[in-house]
Structure 1
Amino acid sequence: MAKDKKKDGKKSEKSVRRSIPEQDTVTESSSTKLTDLQTLLNGVEEAQASAAVSDKEPEEGEEPPVQNIPQYYEEPVLTQVIVKRYEGEKVCGLYEGEGVAYFDGGNTYKGMFSEGFMHGQGTYTWADGVKYEGTFVKNVQMFSGRYTWNDGSFYEGSIRNGVRHGFGFFRSSTHPVSYIGYWCKGKRHGKGTIYYDREHTSWYSGDWVNNVKEGWGMRCYRSGNTYEGQWEKNVRHGRGRMRWLTANQEYVGQWVYGMQHGYGTHIWFLKRMPASQYPLRNKYIGDFVNGERHGHGKFIYASGAVYDGEWVCNKKHGKGKFVFKNGNVYEGEFIDDDMVEYPAFQVGAMNPQELNAVCTGSCFGTETIGIVNISENPSALGSDIELDISSLLDLLPREERQEEVKQVEFAVLRHITELRRVYSFYSSLGCDDSCDNTFLMTRLQFWRFLKDCQFHHSDRTLAEMDRILSGDKTPLEEIHSPYETLLFRTFLSRLIHLAFHIYHEEHKDKGPYLHKCFTEMMSRNVIPTACHVQGILFSEQRRTVFAMSYIDKCWEIHRAFCRPSISPPFEPTMKMRQFLWMLNDFKLLSKQLTASRLVEILFKDGPSLQDGSNANLEQELVFLEFIEALLDCALVYVTSDMIK
């Protein structure tokens, strides 16, 4: 007996003692015997998992494990036990009805019998105090019941063949651990939630496979840090979001066995600067290798400066482009965070300890750079906002350019408060709460702004506007990317560009007219309709949250069906006709979602896109129009009978 216990103890963790000793086995000496019950071979609780933490990125680590491994519980075994005494009814010499059986070794059973078997509701108590209360089927614990161990720990829920199987709840009395969810053959398997403390501040909720976190799940740590995403072998693996509330940081992207590895976005939330119009955060979007910025990536400083280029071990290294907060640009080679041509010029260290310096002081030092073309005339909008309208000025007589810039800056300044409100409103659409309540506008949100303000009713589609606003060096595949981010100054510059292209014919013969085009756009488009969200994607919060979880997959599908545009620069786009073909390929056209109904959906927000009585299916769809058309189609295609 003692040897058996030692062997079992080796199977459990070395740091704890076995809580449930094996039951005594007794030689058969009576004509009345109980059939063997199934033996549970698997434990219940394991250690709180802690993901690997990179020594080089200590600020990104999660809290360490807060406790030792809980005890390893097993359902006790009903061996071939001998009935020593029985009190109750018998039929034809077999136990029948309600009775009490006393077994050799001290175990007892009180409950229902049928044809000599424990069958029905009953309570089986082992000599050491472990108890099972629940349903028996021919001596086997089945369906539902409750195990109570001698230290006070218990399990209550579904039982099959004597082990936990189905939905149930376990709570340890010696450690602050509890689990509620699904089990399979004695192991956590399926959806379930485990709590690591009594206060329920440290927990994991999600998928399990054979007692291991595997699949999708959310982990909340005692510190308040959270991770939501994919898991493999108890560590973060796949795509997920980690929020370090204690360090004011967030990462969304790919993980490989607990490390940031692959493509992702890391954000450092910073303390607000007085009168700052920029999002109060530093943001890196790009490649990670073993927890470090490595490969190609873009770093957006809270001050408005931007670096886009190559990284090696958290440092700018290789070819890159640095846009200073006033809009001036350096493009060239970097080595160990420094510009090769100007090694003494520090563009800002990227170590986490030094990031605050980006917002609390100048990262440019006291030196000046010869390659940066500093404007001789300071902007009326301040040093932090320099409008990028040089391509428009090239279209105007040289002697009029300075006055044009001055007048359009004053026009923007008159509406700056309203425009900041609009930027803040649209940049938060479809986003979770942020620590500083500020967001960077994406192109997806910018499209929604343009549609709400009916810019697309000016005989220009959103796709054509993208081409107008894209620079010569913009990669073709990024011209219509919904993930592009727009700083506030970029937002203002793009509005001026669009105002010129829409209204310049009305004002070009009336002297300086950029500001007149801008004012016309504000009075006709922005002021009357901005912040009144149309379309299906952002109109209802629950729908938005659900739809945004499929954005990445929808973008992959959209790109797969895009074809080169017939207009320069011949970037890949999707036409309405291709959208119809896509639904047909997916066999989604039905009695409810007919081709004519689909055309109505595509044209419901763009009456100007029809040629006479026939719909012009050659019109291009940007991704916002694509996903909103998909959502509208889903409302038509999915019937109440399908939901049932």
Structure 2
Amino acid sequence: MKGVTSSILVMALFLCFYSTGTYAGEWAVDPKTGCKVWNENPKPNRTVSWSGPCEKEYAAGSGILIWFQDGKETSRYEGPLLNGKSNGRGTGIWANGDKYTGDYADGKFQGQGTLIWADGARYEGGFANDRYHGKGFEITTKGDKYTGDFVNGKWQGKGTMIWAAGGKYEGDFFNDRYHGKGVEITASGDKYEGDFVEGERTGKGIQTLVKGGKYIGDFVYGEWHGKGTYIHPNGNKYEGDYAFGEEQGKGVFTWANGDKYEGDFFMDMFHGKGAYTWGSNSQWAGDKYIGGYVNGKQTGKAVYLYKDGTKYEGDFLDGKYHGQGTYTCSNGRAFSGRFENGKPVGFVVQCH
């Protein structure tokens, strides 16, 4: 998620200030004053100049510390030193244009400071041992903005992330990722509020779509997965099982007009066994179908119950009587035989 790894970059910048090369470290001596300053990473032809006072051979007090490589200035520090190391409020400037202004302790960024990178990135806030640490504000080269807690150079704790491309997150962070409870608004305007695990929507959450729909339930890696409820913009509602973003398993679908299906789902379709009841606002109000479904259509063995007591029991295909079946009138008269496309074959159904 993060454009740059701040802890690595800050450490690299710090090491650049004190030279590059091996990590042994040694004392460097200004040839003019004889003052010693700490060189974190010695390198051949690396020299130093210190304009301030010395105490017991070590640079101490306010002054300007300049590092050279092969006679060319690579970085400078303006501020106080203690025992040969930057200590207090100072400013570090690097040849590539990077600049740090803030607190130092024992030669490291420690306390409050502002670090401005030559590429346009910027950080303002707490530092500890050369890393972003505590409360801070970071803006990346892309213009992404993070405000909140840092731990050892990483987004960790409570924070707010505003993406330059659009979108915003506010909540818990861990190891540079959304982790814990949070609210995310995407560039398109969709909103998610709930659990995050390692940057992914995982756990319990509520997703409100800009088009008007709303989902409440379980998430896994950003997908609706587990138990959930989706309310459509038109008022229709599904409650039940989800698998990888699709209605799959057991569920109940209720239409705004009062119709209702309860049963099996597969890939967002009625599939398996189910019961469909027509609501009071339907022209078939009070009728009920109980039986098989295939790819969203009434197909297989089933019973159709009419509100007046009439009943059909038998085979269906694409919502019509098709195959062997028995039609029982409300007065008890029954007719059995073959049906095709909803009509009896070779006989007549006559209830009166």
User: What is the TM-score normalised by the length of structure 1?
Assistant: 0.40
What does 1:300-311 correspond to in 2, within 5 Å? 300-311=254-265
* Contact kept in structure 2, 1:85 and 1:102, CA below 8 Å: yes
Q: Which residue of 1 aligns with 2:131?
A: 163
Q: Tell me how far 1:262 sits from its aligned partner.
A: 0.4
2:238 pairs with 284, 300, 303, which one?
Answer: 284
The residue aligned with 2:225 is 261
Matched position secondary structure for 1:261: strand
In 1: Cα distance, 2:42 partner to 2:154 partner: 25
TM-fit CA distance, 1:111 = 0.6
Aligned pair 1:373/2:300, yes or no? no
State the match for 1:134 in structure 2.
102
- Residue 135 of structure 1 aligns to which amino acid in structure 2? D
Whole-Å Cα distance in 2 between the matches of residues 180 and 227 of structure 1?
20
CA 1:29 to 1:287, structure 2 compared with 1: closer, same or farther past 3 Å?
closer
Change (3 A) 1:94 1:30: closer
Name the CA distance, whole Å, in 1 between partners of 2:231 and 2:39. 62
Shift of 1:146: 1.2
Identity %: 29
The match for 2:167 is: 202
Distance change >3 Å, CA 144–CA 35, structure 1 → 2: farther
Return closer, same or farther for 1:83/1:95 CA change in 2, 3 Å cut-off.
farther
Helix, strand or coil at the partner of 1:309? strand
Q: Decide whether the 8 Å contact of 2:252 with 2:261 is kept in 1.
A: yes
Alignment match of 1:325 (pick from 273, 279, 284): 279
Correspondence for 2:314: none
In the aligned structure 2, how far is the partner of 1:158 from the partner of 1:29? 28
User: Secondary structure of the residue that 2:118 maps to in structure 1?
Assistant: coil
Q: Residue 210 and residue 26 in structure 1: after superposition, are their counterparts in 2 closer, same or farther (change >3 A)?
A: closer
For 2:170 and 2:134, how far apart are their aligned partners in 1? 17
Q: Deviations over 1:45-64 (max 9, x none)?
A: xxxxxxxxxxxxxxxxxxxx
> Structure 1 residues 80, 120: closer, same or farther in 2, change over 3 A?
farther
* 1:597-634, Cα deviation, whole Å (9 max, x unpaired): xxxxxxxxxxxxxxxxxxxxxxxxxxxxxxxxxxxxxx
Change (3 A) 1:29 1:227: closer
User: Could you tell me which amino acid in structure 1 is paired with residue 131 of structure 2?
Assistant: V
Residue from 282, 290, 297 that aligns with 2:251: 297
Provide structure 1 residue ranges, at least 5 long, that are not aligned to the other structure: 1-11, 14-19, 37-78, 271-280, 344-368, 376-644
Q: Is the 8 A contact 1:170 1:180 kept in 2?
A: yes
1:240 & 1:93 partners in 2: Cα distance? 63
Change (3 A) 1:313 1:218: same
Shift of 1:196: 0.8
How many Å apart are 1:155 and its aligned residue?
0.5
Q: Who is 1:183 aligned against?
A: 150
Alignment of 1:385-424 (within 5 A): none
Q: Which residue of 1 aligns with 2:182?
A: 217
- Higher helix residue share: 1
The amino acid of 1:335's aligned partner reads Y
Q: CA deviation at 1:329?
A: 4.0
Separation in 2, partners of 1:85, 1:211: 39
Q: Structure 2 residue aligned with 1:145, among 113, 116, 129? A: 113
Amino acid at match of 1:160: A
Verify: 1:238 aligned to 2:172, yes or no.
no
- State TM-score, norm by structure 2: 0.71
CA distance in 2, matches of 1:341, 1:187: 58
The match for 2:20 among 6, 25, 30 is: 25
CA shift for structure 1 position 102: 1.1
Inter-partner Cα distance in structure 1 for 2:128 and 2:300: 73
1:264-288 Cα shifts (integer Å, max 9, x gaps): 0011112xxxxxxxxxx11101011
- 1:341–1:26 distance in 2 versus 1, CA, 3 Å: closer
Partner of 2:298: 339
Q: Which amino acid in structure 2 is aligned with residue 334 of structure 1?
A: G
Q: 1:143 to 1:370 in 2, by over 3 A?
A: closer
**What secondary structure, in the 3-state scheme, does the structure 1 residue paired with 2:232 have?**
strand
In structure 1, what is the Cα distance between the partners aligned to 2:120 and 2:195? 34
**Residue 346 (structure 2) aligns with:** none
C-alpha distance 90-115 of structure 1, shift in aligned 2 (>3 A): same
Counterpart check, 1:96 vs 2:24: no
**Rg bigger for which structure?**
2
Q: How far did residue 253 of structure 1 move?
A: 0.7
Extract unaligned runs of 5+ from structure 2.
Answer: 6-11, 30-35, 310-352
Amino acid corresponding to residue 37 of structure 2 in structure 1: K
**What does the per-residue CA deviation read over 1:530-563, in whole Å, with 9 as the maximum and x for residues that have no partner?**
xxxxxxxxxxxxxxxxxxxxxxxxxxxxxxxxxx
Distance 1:29 1:236, change over 3 A: closer
SS at match of 1:269: coil
Q: What residue is the counterpart of 1:435 in the other structure?
A: none
Match of 1:111 among 79, 96, 106: 79
The equivalent residue for 1:84 is 48
Select the structure that is richer in strand: 2
